[in-house]
Amino acid sequence: MFLDRPSLALAADACTTAYESAQEWRLDADLLGARQQLLHCAVAPCAAFIQRDCTQWLAEVEAALPTIVVAAHDGAKHDLTDVRVLSDGQLLAAALEAHPLSLNPGKHRLIFEAAGFAPQTVDVFLSQGQKNRLVDVAFAPARANAAPAASSERAASVPRSVYLAGGLAVLGVSGFAAFALAGKSAEDHVRQDKCAATQTCSDAQLADTRRKYLLADVSLLVGILSGAATAFLWFRQPGEARGPKRQLTFSGDGRAFLGVYSVTY
């Protein structure tokens, strides 16, 4: 099969372009780009002198191109081959194979990625003509959800005394509401059923009502004091200084807390 004249002209133009570009890229130290151009002009239908020069230059470029050999393994020293290799942000290999990988001379940042492992970064400097430079990559398992772990640490650093005082504050307020409602209900019952005729209630008739109101007042006092203690303990230890070492302690025979909130009838 013979090429017609237009096809021959296009082929000649392509050969000339590859011939000239290969020399320019080689001068710019882009040996990979030069090799790609030389592969085009070292074969037919390029002119004989172009093929001759391109073939010679291609051998020189291949000798000058540095190469690396990647060895990847996990923490148990098991070899890994399903590893993506990126050089300076560009994909160099989708997986590891037996042949070396070619790179231009100079400094490169290599990133290695494998499923289930944290990416590894290696900076290398390759000299012209350096062959089969070994790059050993040890993969470590990817850490899962570091943020929740940090949150757990912060939660664990809150002193127990804060939780204790806060719980007492909630119980105090809840007790106040419960006893106040119970007292109001008891008072309405006494005034409607027992004191309705005389419109006057005796101390004995209101004794249960007053007891409930008193318990409501005591619960409210406990809630207020406990809430104040919670705020004091919390803001007393700002930021990371809050920790379990500072705890609220009780002295005496175990009834010190009751003495603080006791009410004399």
| Mean predicted lDDT score pLDDT of the chain | 79
Q: Are 72 and 137 in contact (CB under 8 A)?
A: yes
> Is 67 in contact with 131 (CB distance < 8 Å)?
yes
* Model pTM score: 0.52
Question: Which residues does 21 contact at the CB level (< 8 Å), separation at least 6?
Answer: 33, 34, 37
Percent of the chain with pLDDT over 90: 45
Classified by CATH at the fold level, domain 67-138 comes out as: Immunoglobulin-like (2.60.40)
pLDDT in tens, 118-165: 999 999 999 999 999 999 999 988 775 545 555 555 555 667 777 777
- Integer Cα distance of 131 and 66 in angstroms: 5
pLDDT score recorded for residue 255: 39
Burial 116-149, CB ≥16 within 10 A → b, else e: ebeebeeebebeeebeebebebebeeeeeeeeee
Q: How many CB atoms lie within 10 A of CB 222?
A: 20
For 26-54, what is the mean pLDDT?
94
Cα radius of gyration (the chain):
43
Residue 239, pLDDT score: 54
Residue 216 to residue 209: CA distance in whole angstroms: 11
